[in-house]
Structure 1
Amino acid sequence: METPTLTASAAARVKQIAVKQGCDPMLRLSVEGGGCSGFQYTFALGTPEDEDSSSQTDGVTLLIDPVSLDLVAGSTVDFVESLGGAAFQVENPQAAAGCGCGSSFGI
């Protein structure tokens, strides 16, 4: 199963946040039930747990728990800035449906 990855833009943003908060540059991506399409992405700075999968981009680690990995395998996490604001976004090849906010999806 292909572990999700961060773009260079997302890695740079995680580094900025981690420096401000004085912690290691590790971003946890998880999936929870809910949102307008059935599942929603959540992001948090975190530390690795025993069963996590991880990938590295520019010195930043992306952490994914085993349950979430089934739903986001092969995805790319990007950081996008636009007139509407700035946010982490997931490009998920498994998502069959999504919503306008970009934070929820269906399979």
Structure 2
Amino acid sequence: MTTAASDIALTEQAARRIHAILANESPGAVFRVSVEGGGCSGFQYHFAVESAPGAEDALLEHAGARVAIDPASIGFLAGAKIDFVDDLMGQSFRIDNPNAVASCGCGTSFAV
């Protein structure tokens, strides 16, 4: 089964925050979400702003937010929901990932 950007949900809160971040960037900029090896559970999420998506990236667009996901990461994110939380613990992007079988206490790394 092939995972597409449409298999990943972006909450309104996340879309608003990403749109605000990209408003200060050059036209065509994207917010990159990727999965990298590391962290205390084996994999970790990485967030970055890039000037443009890569040729092979999947693009998720919602409410002015443009999210790029590379081909190596998209399979790890199938069915995931990207959210932005602003609470007493701070502000952060959080990913609710149904593929994760374990995660660390801080929620930034996971195992599959």
**8 Å CA contact retained: 2:44, 2:109:** yes
**Match in the other structure for 1:83:** 88
Matches within 5 A, 1:50-89: 50-89=55-94
**Match in the other structure for 1:28:** 32
Alpha-carbon deviation of 1:88? 0.3
Dislocated runs of 4+, deviation >3 Å: 20-25
Task: Give the Cα separation in 2 of the matches to 1:54 and 1:97.
Answer: 27
Secondary structure in 2 aligned to 1:20? coil
Task: Give the Cα separation in 1 of the matches to 2:77 and 2:86.
Answer: 22
**8 Å CA contact retained: 2:30, 2:67:** yes
Deviation per residue, 1:40-83 (Å, 9 max, x gap): 00001122111111111112111100000111112111000111
Identity of aligned residues (%): 44
Is 1:48 aligned to 2:53, yes or no? yes
Distance 1:17 1:45, change over 3 A: same
Distance 1:21 1:72, change over 3 A: same
Task: Give the Cα separation in 2 of the matches to 1:84 and 1:90.
Answer: 16
Is 1:39 aligned to 2:40, yes or no? no
**8 Å CA contact retained: 2:102, 2:110:** yes
Alpha-carbon deviation of 1:19? 2.1
Alpha-carbon deviation of 1:26? 2.2
**8 Å CA contact retained: 2:34, 2:47:** yes
